[in-house]
């Protein structure tokens, strides 16, 4: 309490002013806004740097993936080309071998056919004639020079057919051919038909065809 004027003057001018009490919490009182702003900027800077690293890593990873994809594509193209070359080479080799085999078979067929002709002619006639038991007249024709075959055919004719079976030479027949005719029909075994059958079988196996070798080109002098 101020009791005198002197006390009032003293209190007003000599005493330091009273500082009001600060109710701000101590944790907030010590904080510096400028330092907080600097901290936030540094944190943002670090986060941006980390984000840049992540973006760069992702971009590099994508580039590596793209490069790997291009490499795989080039490898696959090369493998496809190599496989195509191998297939072409194998196909060409197979065709060459097939052509050689085909040519050899065609060249060997006429001589082989003629060489086994007599026995085959006799066997063919022996199998067919019994089926013509009720035919009144039967004509068996063989190629010129097939005397052994003609004799074998006569020997194999069933007894009840001998008076109705004639064995003659057919001028248009080649060695190994035989033709059997009766009143209403005819059957034959010829090298040309057998050769055509063999060629069809070879074609089914993928062998290329060539000009067929005529059976007529093989004479009796070629038969061993």
Residue 159: half-sphere exposure toward Cβ, Cα within 13 Å: 0
Residue 220 pLDDT level (bands cut at 50, 70, 90): very low
Q: In this structure, what token pair is assigned to residue 223? A: 């038969």
Q: The tokens 């060489």 sit on which residue?
A: 115
Average pLDDT value for residue range 138-148: 87
Confidence of residue 211 (pLDDT cuts 50, 70, 90): very low
Contacts of 174 (CB under 8 A, 6+ apart): 114, 143, 190, 191, 192, 215, 216, 218
Provide mean pLDDT across the span 129-136. Answer: 90
Mean pLDDT of 97-103: 71
**pLDDT reported for residue 218:** 40
How far is residue 10 from each of residues 1, 18, 19, 87, measured CA to CA in Å? 12, 14, 18, 119
Confidence tier at 100 by pLDDT (50, 70, 90): confident
**pLDDT over 90 at 180, yes or no:** yes
Written as six digits, the tokens of 149 are 């075959």
Q: Which residue has the higher pLDDT, 208 or 47?
A: 47
């Amino acid at each position: 309490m101020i009791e005198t004027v002197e006390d009032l003057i003293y209190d007003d001018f000599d005493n330091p002013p009273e500082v009001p009490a600060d109710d701000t919490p101590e944790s907030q009182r010590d904080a510096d806004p400028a330092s907080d702003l600097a901290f936030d900027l540094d944190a943002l800077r670090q986060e941006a740097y980390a984000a840049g690293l992540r973006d760069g890593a992702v971009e590099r990873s994508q580039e590596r993936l793209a490069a790997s994809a291009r490499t795989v594509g080039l490898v696959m193209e090369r493998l496809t080309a190599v496989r195509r070359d191998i297939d072409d080479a194998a196909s060409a080799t197979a065709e060459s071998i097939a052509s050689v085999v085909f040519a050899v078979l065609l060249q060997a067929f006429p001589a082989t056919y003629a060489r086994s002709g007599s026995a085959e002619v006799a066997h063919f006639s022996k199998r067919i004639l019994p089926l013509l038991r009720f035919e009144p007249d039967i004509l068996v024709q063989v190629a010129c020079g097939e005397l052994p075959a003609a004799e074998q055919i006569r020997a194999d004719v069933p007894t009840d057919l001998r008076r109705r079976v004639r064995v003659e030479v057919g001028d248009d027949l080649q060695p190994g051919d035989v033709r059997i005719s009766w009143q209403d029909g005819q059957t034959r075994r010829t090298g040309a038909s057998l050769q055509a059958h063999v060629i069809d079988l070879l074609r089914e196996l993928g062998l290329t065809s060539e000009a067929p070798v005529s059976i007529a080109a093989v004479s009796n002098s070629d038969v061993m």
